[in-house]
Structure 1
Amino acid sequence: MALGNQASKHLEESNVKTLAIHLLRTEEGVVGQWDEGHSCTPRSDEGDRNAVGDRACSVIDMNGTAPARPDLHDPVRSGLRPHRAALDMVRLGRQGLLLHPCDCFHKAYSLRLLVMVAHSPPPLATSSSSPTLNMMTPEGPPTAWSVEESAGACQSRGVSQSKWLFFLKTFGAALVVIYICVPFIIRLFPAILGKVVYLNMVKFPFFVDLKNPGELLNHTANFYLTSEEGVNIGVWHTVPASRGEEARGKDRRWFEDSLADDNPIIIYLHGNGGTRAMDHRVQLMKVLSKAGFHVLALDYRGFADSTGEPSEAGVTQDSVFLYEWVKARSHGNPVCLWGHSLGTGIATNAARKLQEKGNPADAVILEAPYTNIRDAGAYHPFGKIYHIYPGFEYFFLDTFALSNQVFPNDENVKKMTSPLMILHAEDDNVVPVSMGKELHEIAINSRHPRDVILILYPAMLGYKHKFIYKDPKLPEKLWAFLNNI
């Protein structure tokens, strides 16, 4: 039977068998063939030896059938129509390349083609139990492979590959199921979306003692305030660097009294996830302290070491309470609300509430602000995953209202009378810069333009969503803004 017919037959069968081509030379120029039990039957046809030249060959069906041996020096002329991969491997053999059998696993056609090539005349072991092919590798001395070892190695690799393939298929199927189910779960249980908004369960960085801020920030004190019954919020107070030496070893009372000096005060309202000890937050506090500002950074209820559970009304109340507490001790020094990311919505909520109480904030700074939480959700990296999902707005965006999460910056800036500064990086990959520009337009169309400042940072600076503190001129810009209020 010709090799081409053998290949076709193997391909058509549901249980694909293994076809192997062995290019070898025996000590006496004799070609052997092996059956399933690996018994060796020598063939010493002189015509065959002459036809092949200095290399003898045998085409072997590993299931026991030994077809007629063709002339592989010219397989087409001899009437042989082997699989193309087999011809390619024969050519490799002629070029003196040695391939390990398992490396010649041609999976695309479900046909295994095993090629072994010899360069010198190593002997062929004729043991009836396990014949050995002595192969000369290009890099070194001859290497002995037994047919039994080669078949076992390939079978072992095949089993391993099958297990990995099964695992990948199962894992992929699980991801698809999760992807499909998540929107339904969120719609049925809107409170889950609230957890995603705040991410307060992510208390990063780990292993930081929030009661001892001196490990991260100099001249900083930690204390707690009760914003309402049953809710205690953790706060860090960093004094201006100019008072750093004076602050060494001082108690909370000294820090509280220091708010009455002549330095402006910034209340920092951070974004979702993590604690007040996150690096980019700490770095901003360092910049502001060095610039001569008092900085008070709080963790809203449910965040870090603060008690309670977060909600839009709750985190807004925490911020309003801290502002009023600081303002009562500032002796007329300006107190500014600085919100970042999610904190921008908290800052404008607090400013609007303070205004309604007749005590508007002295100034508001929004870093990487959004128009409202619904719009922010559409552009958030998590939201982008589901943009192609049918009913994306219904399952996700409309559910924000069901979970009582609005944070309407766009509506708040229409009503606010406090001076406003907006900082936004053009390469922000979480909140698009277009939202910052839109808020600026809303603000200047609802008040005197002198009270609104927009500062955009080119993408080439790489400030993205949380690195605006790296702007070397940031302190200068802040002082220019606050000096005009």
Structure 2
Amino acid sequence: MSNWGYIIIITLAVYFVASVALYYLQEYFIFKPEKLDKDFQFHYNNQVVEEYNIETRDGAIINGLHFKVDNPKGIVLYLKGNSKSIKGWGKFAVDFTRHRYDVFMLDYRGFGKSTGRRSLKAIKRDLQFVYNIMKEKVDEKYIILYGRSMGSGFAAKLASINNPKMLILDAPYYSLSKVAAKFIPFMPVSLIMRYPIPTYKWLKYVNCPIHIIHGTQDKLIPFKSSIKLSKIKPKLTRLYTVIGGGHKNLNNFESYHKMLGEIINSKMRRLNLSETSIGVVHSSKKLNAEA
């Protein structure tokens, strides 16, 4: 066998081993959990919060926090990103409680105090289980789904099989496979991804208002991904642009808070298109010249 033959075989062998390694080790790259002791005490200034430990059918424990307000307008199910725990994410609840909305945040399996073997199927099942509990206490027309970064895909999935008041996606990705392909373009991502999380597929089946918020300077998940997502259900979707916003700093922009307040306090009104300029065609250059 020629030297080129040996090189090709070795290259293919390395490629195969790397693919297998990525298949089994991808959780270490996708998830960045923070573990919390069982006796850890959550505390947030000027917030009323109650901790919950929800047992799933396979014996896992999903730990969550319920931020409460007097006479709430509804409740926000906040699905966080892929890092740390609700210990830090809980600080963002104020962005909703100040508008008199309760907030429920949870940690995915392996994050914070939550336990259980993690898989895409298990996470989706856990979230639906929590949503079902919420539905028993609150009518769906008062439930807002808010998904941040990785949580945006899970929020889209929940909205696709339920009937919440609205869906808010914060810095969403078209699919997690697309994000991975950006960093490892030479690998067979579509074959090895165990967490493809195809937001775009699930969004097709969402029938509630969809609000997408994205920063123009997001280096991790490009703004163009939200533009693509906004075209899937255009009649139900509004895209909000945070000029100069990155992936982790939208909360530091005044425009973000104005947008969020406008979104969660908005009321759907039927639009009478007969009273608008829809259908009006601009005159052609030829007609303008003759005029």
* Shorter-chain TM-score tier: 0.7 to 0.9
For 2:159 and 2:187, the matched residues in 1 are separated by: 29
Distance in 2 between residues matched to 1:210 and 1:421, nearest whole Å: 37
Q: 1:329 offset after TM fit, Å?
A: 0.5
How far apart in 2 are the matches of 1:408 and 1:191?
20
Structure 2 Cα separation of the partners of residues 230 and 335 of structure 1: 27
User: Deviation of residue 345 (structure 1)?
Assistant: 1.1
Does 1:479 find its partner at 2:274? no
1:234 equivalent in alignment to 2:63:
yes
- Please state if 1:458 is matched with 2:243: yes
- In structure 2, how many angstroms separate the alpha carbons of the residues matched to 1:347 and 1:299? 14
* Residues 1:195 and 2:28 aligned together: yes
Secondary structure of 1:318's partner?
Answer: helix
Give 2:78's aligned residue.
Answer: 268
What's the CA shift string for 1:48-68, capped at 9, x where partnerless?
A: xxxxxxxxxxxxxxxxxxxxx
1:441 lines up with 2:274 in the alignment: no
Measure the CA separation in 2 of the matches of 1:227 and 1:183: 39
TM-score (normalised: structure 1): 0.48
**Match in the other structure for 1:151:** none
Q: Which amino acid aligns with 1:477?
A: E
Matched residue, 2:272: none
Whether the 8 Å contact between 2:165 and 2:208 is mirrored in structure 1 is yes
Equivalent position to 2:173, from 353, 370, 388:
370
Deviation digits for residues 184-210 of structure 1 (CA, Å, limit 9, x no counterpart): 65412312113322233x44xx7x887
Q: How is 1:171-182 mapped onto 2 (pairs within 5 angstroms)?
A: none
Provide the C-alpha distance between the structure 1 equivalents of 2:61 and 2:249, rounded to a whole number of angstroms.
30
In the TM superposition, what whole-angstrom CA distance separates every residue of 1:9-63 from its partner, at most 9, and x where no partner exists? xxxxxxxxxxxxxxxxxxxxxxxxxxxxxxxxxxxxxxxxxxxxxxxxxxxxxxx
Contact kept, 8 Å, 1:210 with 1:277, in 2: the verdict is no
Q: Deviations over 1:271-300 (max 9, x none)?
A: 11210112xx23321111112110000001
Aligned partner letter, 1:317: R
RMSD: 2.5
Unaligned segments of structure 2, at least 5 residues: 1-12, 270-291
Supply the distance in 2 between the matched residues of 1:238 and 1:307 (Cα, whole angstroms). Answer: 22
Letter in 2 for 1:408: P
Summarize the Cα distance change of 1:415–1:361 in structure 2 as closer, same or farther, 3 Å threshold: same
| Cα displacement (A) at 1:344 | 0.9
AA aligned opposite 2:114: S
Q: 2: CA distance between counterparts of 1:295 and 1:186?
A: 42
Q: Is 1:351 equivalent to 2:159 in the alignment?
A: yes
Instruction: Look at both structures and tell me which one has the larger radius of gyration over its CA atoms.
Output: 1
Contact 1:217 1:286 in 2 (8 A): no
Q: Percent identity at matched positions?
A: 21
Query: For residues 233 and 149 of structure 2, what CA distance do their matches in structure 1 show?
Result: 18
2:112 to 283, 297, 304: 304
Identify the match of residue 205 of structure 2 among 415, 419, 425. 415
Q: What secondary structure does 1:393 align onto?
A: coil
The correspondence for 1:469, drawn from 251, 255, 263, is 251
Matches within 5 A, 1:55-454: 185-189=17-21, 190-200=23-33, 202-203=34-35, 211-215=40-44, 218-240=47-69, 243=70, 261-278=71-88, 281-331=89-139, 334-352=142-160, 355=161, 359-379=162-182, 383=183, 386=184, 392-394=186-188, 397-398=189-190, 401-444=191-234, 449=235, 451-454=236-239
Contact preservation (8 Å) 1:232, 1:306: yes
Equivalence for 2:8: none
- Please, what TM-score do these two structures have when normalized by structure 2? 0.78
- The CA deviation at 1:316 is 1.2
* Structure 2: distance between partners of 1:316 and 1:480: 28
In structure 2, the CA distance between the partners of 1:421 and 1:309, relative to structure 1 (3 Å rule), is same
Gaps of 5+ in 1: 1-180, 244-260
Does the Cα contact within 8 Å between 1:413 and 1:442 map onto a contact in 2?
yes
Cα distance between partner residues in 2 of 1:479 and 1:349: 20
Cα contact 2:166–2:208 (8 A) shared by 1 = yes
Deviates more, 1:424-433 or 1:214-223: 214-223
Deviation of the 1:334 alpha carbon? 0.9
The change in CA–CA distance for 1:474 and 1:183 in structure 2 (over 3 A counts) is farther
Q: Distance in 2 between matches of 1:182 and 1:453?
A: 46
Q: Which amino acid aligns with 1:301?
A: R
Question: Once the two structures are superposed, what CA deviation does each residue of 1:327-386 show, in whole Å capped at 9, x if it has no partner?
Answer: 21015651011111111111112222xx2xxx423321110001111111134xxx2xx5
CA contact (8 A) 1:227 1:233 kept: yes
> Using the alignment, how far apart are the partners of 1:316 and 1:232 within structure 2?
14
User: 2:167·2:209 contact (CA, 8 Å) conserved in 1?
Assistant: yes
Distance 2:247 2:16 in 1: 30
Higher relative contact order (CA 8 A, sep 6+): 2
